[in-house]
Homo-oligomer: A and B are copies of this chain.
Amino acid sequence: MKVFGVVGLGLIGGSMALGLKAANAKLSVIAYDTDDQALAAGLALDVIDEQAASISDLSARADLICVCTPVMQMKRVMAELSNFEGTVTDVCSVKGPVVDAAKELWGGLPANWVPGHPIAGSEKHSVRGARSDLFQNHKTILTPNAATLPDALNQVTKLWQTLGAEVVSMTIDHHDDVLAQTSHLPHLLAYTLVDVLAGFGDEREVFEYAAGGFRDFSRIAASDPVMWHDIFMTNQAALLKRLKTMVAALEDTANLIENNDSDALMLRLKRAKAARDYFTGLQPDEP
């Protein structure tokens, strides 16, 4: 790969650009974005080398393209990439809609398209937050199908390995359900909690007395609203199913408290702490 192309220059595309350039000084990165300020920032920060005037301009110059737009803009971008013959990948947090859009456009996902999703991010969602090590020791999930070109799959696998990620494969349905649980539901809770707290009246007082725990919690709600709007809307079935279970569990916990069921509440808290401690043990590289 000599020229890496990015559609949608934010935290993810910018971090890929920095990481790939750190590994290969000869690599050139070109980006297209509807937001000129993102492109200007990318150039000023040396995250990208050139900007493209359009997606077809990018297609004509790049060897491999990664689409990093919010989910609901994918179909429009995909249509403009129809004639691109190199390998394409994307980083959408929901994979079902990417395949659905491809089906509507072309009857199915093209053989040169390898859907992907790096399990990494930050509340600093613009290109200004880009870091070459964002994906180091994080997983990247690829969801290829039977038609995917082996060469394209290898190329995208190597791309992520170069960025320090551990590449794993799974089906699209399984991906969307696992992520509904581990990412989409927590984000929905965090956004809703912050909105509820702000709505309780004296916002300033509520936030002034918020301690460290709340800070951790609310950091999630600082993520990009457009990106999360699209995720919630497009992963509806899996997310609503998991949300229903969560609401039932909250009502159950409320009943334990109301009925002074001390033993059952204690069991639940200890079980959660044990699960969390187990989770921490799986993350040797994190602080």
Contact = CB atoms under 8 A, between A and B. Distances in A.
A122 to B, nearest CB: 7
Interface string A43-54: 000000000000
Nearest to A217: B186
Contact of A183 (B122, B138, B208, B211): B211
Copies per complex?
2
Nearest to A252: B192
Contact of A209 (B182, B205, B226): B182
Contacts of A223: 213, 273
Interface string A161-181: 000000000000000001101
Contact of A214 (B182, B269, B271): B182
A217 B220 contact: yes
A193 B186 contact: yes
Contact of A211 (B121, B197, B271): B121
A237 B49 CA distance: 59
Interface stretch (A12-20, A76-84, A240-248): A240-248
B229 A265 contact: yes
A211 B181 contact: no
A139 B191 CA distance: 25
B206 A182 contact: yes
Contacts of A152: none
Interface in A181-220: 181-183, 185-198, 200, 203-220
A266 B141 contact: no
When A and B form their complex, which 4 residue pairs have the shortest distance between CB atoms, in order from nearest? A198-B275, A225-B269, A207-B279, A216-B216
Interface of A: 119-122, 138-139, 141, 178-179, 181-183, 185-198, 200, 203-223, 225-226, 228-229, 232-233, 236, 239-240, 242-247, 249-251, 253-254, 257-258, 260, 262, 265-266, 268-273, 275-280, 282-283, 286
Given A178-B206, A208-B282, 9 more contacts: A120-B212, A138-B211, A141-B209, A181-B206, A198-B271, A215-B286, A216-B219, A216-B220, A243-B250
